[in-house]
Structure 1
Amino acid sequence: MLRFCKIKGSISRLILQINYIFRLALNIRYLLHTFQSFYIYCIMKIICAGLGKTGTKTIAEALRIIGYNVHDVFEQFHYDKELWDKILDNTATIQDYQRILGNVDAVMDWPAAAVWENIMEAFPDAKVILTVRSSEDEWYESMKNHFEVTNKFAPTNEMVLYLFHLLFAGPLRREFHQLENAFIPPYLGVPRMFGKPRETFLRSRYRQHNLYVKSICPSQKLLVYNVKDGWKPLCEFLNVEIPHKPFPIENVRSEIIRKYMNKTWKYDCGLQRKIEKQVIFRLGTLLIVFVAIVFFIFF
């Protein structure tokens, strides 16, 4: 009987110890989750809220030189596509922004600039940089040149564009096209960044966007910045030392379009090369189908 009582007591103590360990593990897990959420939430962010053709590629390169992890257009499509898909599905939450962009130091250009205030809500300690041009006229002339350069590589006819995506574009190009159709209109006020530039809409959007950013972003964390001003105001705003490198100048007269089409733009995440491979595959498939049909009819 005494032996049975001792065994029973040992079992009771073992159960208590197991229960204690289990509860301790749950507490540790909760603390780790809380710390992770707090860490992600508090990572310093830079939101470049300026529209395209305000020096977005230049400031992206400047931030890379300083040492920031930058997600421009192609990085956003390659690494952060889950977020943009959730936004299109109306299912994106603040936690989604924090989780998906949690390890990114800076975002700029579309799609991020189209929802910059949502990103600011997710990362309230982020600093906001509104890139601008010296004048509205200067911005519009640069945007008009972008349209003209892009028109050399993209079909401007709506029917031709539709048939291209229907017959030749692979899934990657279609996904990119879907994001363009969704984010460019709220971003720029026009359907796309090629074809005929709508001057009235573009100019109006430039004014509205800049006024909107200035009106809702707290002044203490906003820098209205012209890339012509170089390192000094940028580095003072970010509280970093001025790099021992010349300030970069990128995308002069929309040269990025040519580099992208020639697969020499180093920050396209291999997108153009992958798109071309998918187009070639579809062309090959269509050719095989056509030859098979001809052979079946005539032979």
Structure 2
Amino acid sequence: MALIKVIDASLERSGTDSLRVALDILGYKTHHMKCFFEDPTIKVSDWLHTYYNRETADWNWTAATFYKESLHEYPDAKVLLTIRPVDSCYESVKNTILKSVEETPDLGPSDPLHTFLKLADAVCMDGWIRNPENFADEKTVKCLYNEHIAKVKRVFPADQLCILKLGGGREKLCKFLGKEVPQVPYPKVNTTDEFKEYFFERKGANNLAPVTIST
């Protein structure tokens, strides 16, 4: 089992991909939804199985959805939480993740994206932000976002948690992790336009393979 040193408890569209790149620069091996497109050895079905079978999961990965389980398995891990204003986050999700739901046709099991989208439907705020009907309840979605941040702050002691605002925090991040500050700017990736190009045009889908979902 891999030793998890850092847990990212951040929700979607709050700078998680930029944080992933920042951590990679610091020498960490990270997991992100993009990893399924970039590393064909990471099986989507394993993550989906974990979502539905947490009590028997092999915790050699982590995600915001599983931050409590990850903490139980790796109590000494450091925890990161990137945040952005809730109104801004809601608009970003609406223009990216939700739009991808609305513009992606129904896919059969033979399509490489089929199982990936099943996973995304499940783990993205437990289905709230990839369900157009649920997402239309703006007040509830924003409450869920704020409640998640509040819960993370309650669960982790202050010396184990680092809260980063969207778009920066390189020095704060490095100090928290005990790393030297790299001589490069803090990354800014996966903007709304980049998201559309990557996911809507299916540029990352070539590495995905159809798999059997086991729940």
Q: What is the TM-score of this pair, normalised by structure 2?
A: 0.80
- Alpha carbons 2:121, 2:131 under 8 Å: kept: no
Structure 1 residue aligned with 2:184: 245
- Alpha carbons 1:48, 1:129 under 8 Å: kept: yes
Alignment-mate amino acid for residue 192 of structure 1: R
Q: How does 1:202-281 map onto structure 2 within 5 Å?
A: 202-264=141-203, 268=204, 272-274=205-207
Structure 2 residue aligned with 1:21: none
By how many angstroms is 1:263 displaced? Answer: 4.9
Structure with more relative contact order (C-alpha pairs < 8 Å, separation 6 or more): 2
Identity of aligned residues (%): 26
Residue 145 in structure 1 maps to residue 91 in structure 2: no
By how many angstroms is 1:227 displaced? Answer: 3.4
Which one of 111, 125, 138 corresponds to residue 76 of structure 2?
125
SS at match of 2:23: helix
Alignment-mate amino acid for residue 208 of structure 1: E
Structure 1 residues 63, 195: CA separation in 2 closer, same or farther (over 3 Å shift)?
farther
Alignment-mate amino acid for residue 206 of structure 2: R
Aligned partners of 1:44 and 1:89: how far apart in 2? 20
Structure 1 residues 120, 244: CA separation in 2 closer, same or farther (over 3 Å shift)?
same
Q: In angstroms, what is the RMSD of aligned CA positions?
A: 2.9
By how many angstroms is 1:55 displaced? Answer: 0.4
Q: How does 1:1-299 map onto structure 2 within 5 Å?
A: 40=2, 43=3, 45-75=5-35, 78=40, 79=42, 81=44, 82-89=46-53, 92-93=56-57, 96-97=58-59, 100-101=60-61, 107=62, 112-133=63-84, 135-147=85-97, 149-150=99-100, 153-155=103-105, 164-165=106-107, 168-170=108-110, 172-186=112-126, 190=128, 192=130, 197-198=135-136, 199-264=138-203, 268=204, 272-274=205-207
SS at match of 2:96: helix
Name stretches of at least 5 consecutive residues in structure 1 with no aligned partner: 1-36, 102-106, 156-163, 279-299
Q: Rg bigger for which structure?
A: 1
Structure 1 residues 62, 217: CA separation in 2 closer, same or farther (over 3 Å shift)?
same
Q: Deviations over 1:223-275 (max 9, x none)?
A: 111133331111111110011112111112252231234454xxx5xxx1156
Q: Deviations over 1:125-174 (max 9, x none)?
A: 111011101x222222222222464257314xxxxxxxx33xx4416433
Q: What is the TM-score of this pair, normalised by structure 1?
A: 0.60
Structure 1 residues 254, 215: CA separation in 2 closer, same or farther (over 3 Å shift)?
farther
> Could you say which structure has the higher helix fraction?
1
SS at match of 1:73: coil
> How many pairs does the alignment contain?
205
SS at match of 2:135: coil
